[in-house]
Amino acid sequence: MVIHMGIEEIIEKTNLIFIDEFEVDEDELSPDAVLRDALELDSLDYVDLVVAIESCFSVKLVAEDFKMVDTLQSFYDLLAKKIND
C-alpha cells in the first residue's frame, strides 16, 4: 500500500530538519526564501542535508534533482514529487 504525504506535512518535517540539524532560525524558512541563502549551507552541509532528508522520508536524492531547486518551495515540491511518485 502506497501512502501519500501532503505538502503541509512535508514542509513541517523538512523545516524541523533545518531547525534541529542546521540551527536555522524558523523565521528564515519562508517558501520564497532562496535555499542556499536561507540555510547558509556549505557543500558538506548539503551532503548532511541529503542524508537527513533521505532518512526522514525514505527517498533517494541525486545531484540532478537539485538542478531546478532554488527556493525552499521548489525544494518542498521536489520532495513531494519524490515521496508521492
Give the domain CATH number at 52.
1.10.1200.10
Residue 66 binned pLDDT confidence (cut-offs 50, 70, 90): confident
**Structural domain for 43, as ranges:** 7-84
SS3 75: helix
In this predicted model, which residue has the larger pLDDT, 56 or 40?
Answer: 56
From residue 4, alpha-carbon distances to 19, 23, 82 in Å are: 24, 28, 10
- Cα–Cα distance measured from residue 42 to residue 60, given in angstroms and rounded to the nearest whole number: 20
Does residue 56 sit within a domain?
yes
- Residue 3's pLDDT is 64
In this structure, is residue 1 part of a structural domain?
no
With respect to residue 2, please indicate whether it lies within any of the assigned structural domains.
Answer: no
pTM across the whole model? 0.89
Examine residue 28 and state whether it is found in any structural domain, yes or no: yes
Residue range 45-72: mean pLDDT, rounded = 92
* 38 within 8 A of 58, measured Cβ to Cβ: no
What is the spatial distance between Cα 35 and Cα 53, in angstroms, rounded to a whole number?
A: 14
Of 78, 83, 84, 75, the closest CA to residue 59 belongs to: 83
Q: Who has greater pLDDT, 39 or 13? A: 13
Using a pLDDT cut of 70, give the percent of the chain over it: 96
pLDDT at 1 over 60: no
Query: Number of folded domains in the chain?
Result: 1
